[in-house]
Amino acid sequence: RKEVEQDPGPFNVPEGATVAFNCTYSNSASQSFFWYRQDCRKEPKLLMSVYSSGNEDGRFTAQLNRASQYISLLIRDSKLSDSATYLCVVIKAAGNKLTFGGGTRVLVKP
């Protein structure tokens, strides 16, 4: 089983719609969680950190469920520019490396 798993998609989303997807992690000792965004042929860029209480940044909402060991990302009012691959990232308590999921591809269409 992979340490961090994501549905690869693609999620085809009409412009203006809401899309949500999850990421599961296997190590219960994981300490920090993030969502990164990666555009085609570009480097990953931090989208947002994920806090235990959940957090929101504009149209993006991230949630953490430690009991079920998953994090989620919700995008409201999707824009064409939201088309990208969204990478879930987990950092274990004992180490400092980023463990990435395989990414979820989102395609927002007019």
List residues near other proteins by CB under 8 A: 4, 6, 8, 31-32, 42-46, 49, 87, 91, 93, 95-103
Q: CB of 86: closest distance to other proteins in angstroms? A: 10
Which residue, 18 or 31, is less far from other proteins as judged by CB? Answer: 31
DSSP of 38-84: E-TTS--EEEEEE-TT-EEETTEEEEEETTTTEEEEEE-S--GGG-E
Q: CB of 34: closest distance to other proteins in angstroms? A: 8
Q: CB of 4: closest distance to other proteins in angstroms? A: 8
Q: CB of 15: closest distance to other proteins in angstroms? A: 25
CA 69, CA 28: separation in Å to the nearest integer? 7
CA 80, CA 74: separation in Å to the nearest integer? 15
Which residue, 2 or 59, is less far from other proteins as judged by CB? Answer: 2
Which residue, 34 or 63, is less far from other proteins as judged by CB? Answer: 34
Residues 6+ apart with CB under 8 A from 45: 36, 37, 38
